[in-house]
Structure formats: structure tokens, C-alpha cells
Amino acid sequence: MRKKNNIVWITGASSGIGKALVAEFAKNNVYVLGSARRLNLLNEIKKELGKQGKYFIPHKLDVTDFTGSKAKYSEISKHYRIECLINNAGITSFSLASKDNSNTVEKVVRTNLIAPINISQLVLKGMRRRKEGTIINILSVAAEKVFVRSSVYSAAKAGLLAYMKVLREEIREYNVKIVNVLPGATKTGIWPRDMLKKSGDRMMLPGDIAKLIYLIYNMNSSAVPEEIVLRPIQGDL
Ligand SMILES: NC(=O)c1ccc[n+]([C@@H]2O[C@H](COP(=O)([O-])OP(=O)(O)OC[C@H]3O[C@@H](n4cnc5c(N)ncnc54)[C@H](OP(=O)(O)O)[C@@H]3O)[C@@H](O)[C@H]2O)c1
């Protein structure tokens, strides 16, 4: 039987930090499966990568669709061994808590909290069996610090941080690394245009986050960096 290829699965790979992660891993000759809803953007990224594009496998997936995620996992795991999952897909709301309607609350919680829990559970089956693997969660400084107009986003990120801390303790015997990354403001399309115009120059670049995550992934060590906080040099916005 053909040996399955190892891959890194990055959710939310069509833009921002996810796109930078794809480029960083592909540049380093690591096979990366990137999923997102906008398949056209994923295909463009593959083209932009030139000859390194052979390391990038684009897949269309809405992470809030659990049935679709299960089917995608079955399809992927027939061909590849998922050695690392990066839970990166995320959305936010910059409204006051009093202005967030139930639809927004549900969407933000489903995307940033429930989806990464569900997808982690899927990949953990194989990781437990093999007694190895890494799950990297792109959280936010908002999981720990108060930012007004970020109530539901902060709740979802803080919820995932708490969940992953407990999960890490429960699966220590399986040799699976769980790494929580908490970035501050990063220059991506998650921010409204006026904010990018006003403060974009103070923000971190997605490529900087990607470089650090690649280093963590590539650490051939019995140590695990459990929590990493990254801030722009001049601090939070
Ligand atoms: N930028 C910051 O300042 C900052 C700071 C801390 C943490 N973060 C976190 O970093 C992560 C990436 O965000 P970003 O800043 O790079 O923003 P971004 O450019 O808007 O990227 C978000 C990504 O998530 C994907 N996504 C959103 N909803 C999805 C869904 N239902 N199913 C599948 N994919 C979905 C989007 O792809 P499609 O639309 O194509 O599906 C896109 O690829 C998020 O978790 C965010 O919370 C960002």
C-alpha cells in the first residue's frame, strides 16, 4: 500500500494569516492543505506560489458545516496523514454588545469556537492512534484582555482557549502538542478599511505570525510552547 503523505491542514487559508501560513509552509517544502469557503482565492494562491504551488492542496469548506467538515476529513484522511491542524478560520463583529443580534452572535461563536472544537475532535482520532500530532489554535489577545466592541469575539476566543487548555491535559499521554497563539492587531481584511488606513502601519504583518508558527511546527523537541502572545511593537491598538 502507498505510504500516505503527511500534511498540515490550515483552515481559513484564503486570506490574511491563513494565506501567509500557506506560503510559509509551501516555501519550506511542506505539503499544506488549505480550506476556506472562497475556492477561487485558494486557486489564485496556488498560482501565485509558482513552482512551490505543488505543495498546496486547496479544498472548499465552510467550517460551520459540521457534516461537510466530517465528509472533508474522511476524504482527506483517505489520502493524507494530518500531522498538524491549524485552526485559523475566524470572523469578528466590531459592534457594541447591545447591537449584536442573535444571528451575529451565533455565527461568531460557531466559526471561532464550535468549528475548531469539532474539527480538532476529527483529527485527534488519528493523532491519538499514532501518538503524535500538533494542533495550533489562532486565538487572540482579546481572549485575555478587554477590548470594547469585541464582546462575542472575545467570548468565543476565550472559550476556545479554555477548551484547549483542558483538552491538552486530557490527552498528554498521547504525545499531541496543543499550542495556543494569541496575536494582537495584524494587518488583514478582518479589520474595517478605515481602521487599516488609520492604524495599519502599527499592525503586525501576517507573514510575521506565519514565520513564528512555522518555527513552532518545525521544533523537533520534547518541549511544547503552550501559549504564545504576539503584539505589535508599539502595543495594542
Ligand atoms: N488580524 C488580526 O488582527 C487578528 C488578531 C488576532 C487573531 N486573529 C485571528 O486570526 C485568524 C485569521 O484571521 P485574519 O486576520 O487573517 O482575517 P481574514 O483575512 O479575514 O481571514 C479569515 C479567514 O477565515 C476564513 N473563514 C471565515 N469564516 C469561515 C467559514 N465559515 N468557513 C471557512 N473559512 C472561514 C476566511 O475564508 P473564506 O471567507 O474564504 O471562507 C479567511 O480565509 C482568525 O481566527 C482571527 O480571529 C486575527
Q: Which atom of ligand 1 is nearest to the CA of 87?
A: 45
Which cell numbers in the block locate residue 17?
Answer: 494569516
Q: Does this model's pTM top 0.95?
A: yes
71-122 pLDDT, tens digit each: 999 999 999 999 999 999 999 999 999 999 999 999 999 999 999 999 999 9
Indicate whether 222 belongs to any domain. Answer: yes
Q: Determine the distance separating the centroid of ligand 1 and the alpha carbon of 50, expressed in angstroms.
A: 24
Question: Does pLDDT of 214 surpass 60?
Answer: yes
158-188 pLDDT, tens digit each: 999 999 999 999 999 999 999 999 999 999 9
Question: Does pLDDT of 59 surpass 90?
Answer: yes
Q: Cell 471561532 maps to which residue?
A: 112
- The answer to whether the Cα torsion of 6, 8, 13, 16 is positive or negative is negative
Indicate whether 237 belongs to any domain. Answer: no
Indicate whether 235 belongs to any domain. Answer: no
Indicate whether 198 belongs to any domain. Answer: yes
Indicate whether 197 belongs to any domain. Answer: yes
Residue 133: CATH number of its domain: 3.40.50.720
Range of the domain at 71: 5-230
40 with 229: CB under 8 angstroms? no
Number of separate domains in the chain: 1
Indicate whether 78 belongs to any domain. Answer: yes
Q: In which order are the strands placed within the sheet that holds 32-36?
A: 56-60, 32-36, 5-11, 80-87, 133-138, 176-183, 227-230
Give residue ranges with CB within 6 A of ligand 1.
Answer: 11-18, 36-38, 41, 61-64, 88-91, 111, 138, 140, 183, 185-186, 188-190
pLDDT: which is higher, 224 or 1? 224
Q: What are phi and psi of 83, to 5 degrees?
A: -90, -20
Q: Helical H runs in the chain?
A: 16-27, 39-48, 66-79, 102-109, 115-130, 151-170, 193-199, 206-218
Indicate whether 111 belongs to any domain. Answer: yes
Residue 1 binned pLDDT confidence (cut-offs 50, 70, 90): very low
Indicate whether 236 belongs to any domain. Answer: no
35-48 pLDDT, tens digit each: 999 999 999 999 99
